[in-house]
Amino acid sequence: MDSQIRHIHQQLVNRDITCTALVQEKLEALRPNSHNTVNSLLDDMALDLAKKVDAKIANGETIGLLEGIPFGIKDVYMVQGTLTTASSDLLKNYKSAYTATAIQKLLDAGAIPIVKENCDSFGHGSSSENTIFGAVKNAKNPELVGGGSSGGSAVNVAKDFTVFSIGGDTGGSVRQPAGYNGVYGLKPTYGRISRYGLMAYASSTDCVGPIAKTIEDIRIVLNVMSGRDVKDQTTFESEDISEDSISNSDDVKTVGYFKNFIESEAIDAKIKADFLAVIEKIKAKGIEVKALDFFESNTLVSTYYTLAMAETASNLSRLDGTNYGNRIEADNLKETYSVTRSENFSEETKRRIVGGNQVLSQGFSDEIYLKGLALRDAISENFEKDFEEVDVILSPVTPSTPPKIGDSLKNPLAMYLSDAYTVGFSLGQLPTLTVPQGTETGLQITASKRNDALVLKFANFLKDTI
């Protein structure tokens, strides 16, 4: 099975390359910041860790599979002693006091972090333009957006600046940029990987997700990061996914797709045609395909943003410059809070905080927020019924192709609607994988909760089928 991680590991073991040279090569590729993917380079840390790996190899010691592998980290994860800015003015000088659980597990396995990656500020965006570090440029066409909010992470993988990267997915923030840049991106089952040390956007849908160029690399990284964490009460124990268990798709008998996604007026004609062509190829392999009914895209987007804005308004209330952040002094404490938040939050972040406070306010919470919670439950129930009929659900990642840089900033509503095909699976807390095949922005494979192995298994099937 194709794997960059295994290939580099073997090169290190055979002493064909040194870890120091490998890390230096990746750092030099990142240093020009040609696609605005870099918030900060972790030069000293990375080179110190690389020297230790080289010393172990020189001494004839065995190294682990991830040991010495350079990777990137979306700049919303705590890594002790490093800048963690969330691509925002408020936290542009903030240094992490501790390390996120998922990142610590990778460090414990010997992987080497080399870069904190550009993203939409606090995860607020679908294009990675809402950032103080400049819009992330698409790996295929630098005039287009890189996708978001994990745009820097996806572009770095696509350009081979990192072997893999760790993004964060709330409503599609790993899957959509992965699709835009032609790489694999996984949103695992909610709770499979600890969120401790990930800056919260919407706590009920935030997921830690790997981005890589191969399915096998996604599997390797997922296994390392997964598991229960006492610091995150939503986590659960999970078994490792073996390479053999995802090597064939014999137990996938039925595939579903949502009719309204494909029949929508919003979908690009080429994406629609390509998706339907994939459906025909799957049928030709003897797999039954079922067209399913689902909620309208506008309902999914409205439900997601109602809940996500409410949660981010609550989560970001702690950022007032008192305990940390770029504090701006005013005449009194109340004015200090107001000026600090007004000057340091981006327009998009302020838009989401205002929207969130609105739906939570007296007189609106019953009409809007509680209705959103009820719709989320209905969406989850719909998924449970669907997975009684089908093994996996296949869908386009996005209804349209990446916009030009600048267009999304002019039209926030269009940016929100670009999430139409990803947010439903986030509300259902389901494992969903973007594969770089089938349409210009890839395909999305979704399975029932805790069935992450099945999406990887079907991805292998698609790789060999289309």
Catalytic residue set: 74, 149, 173
List C-alpha distances in Å: 125 to 69, 75, 421.
Answer: 29, 14, 15
Helix (H, G, I), strand (E, B) or coil at 98: coil
Give the helix ranges, DSSP H, for 15-42.
19-30
For 205, phi and psi rounded to 5 degrees? -130, -10
Query: By the 8 A CB rule, do 184 and 459 touch?
Result: yes
**What is the C-alpha to C-alpha distance for residues 449 and 314, in angstroms, rounded to an integer?**
27
Angle at 201 between CA 410 and CA 216, to 5 degrees: 95
For 137, phi and psi rounded to 5 degrees? -95, 135
**Cα pseudo-dihedral 135, 137, 142, 143, rounded to 10:** -40
Query: By the 8 A CB rule, do 455 and 431 touch?
Result: yes
C-beta contacts of 44-49 below 8 A and 24+ residues apart: 45/81, 45/82, 45/113, 46/70, 46/112, 46/113, 46/114, 47/20, 47/23, 49/23, 49/110, 49/112
- Identify each DSSP E strand in 170-206 by its residue range: 184-187
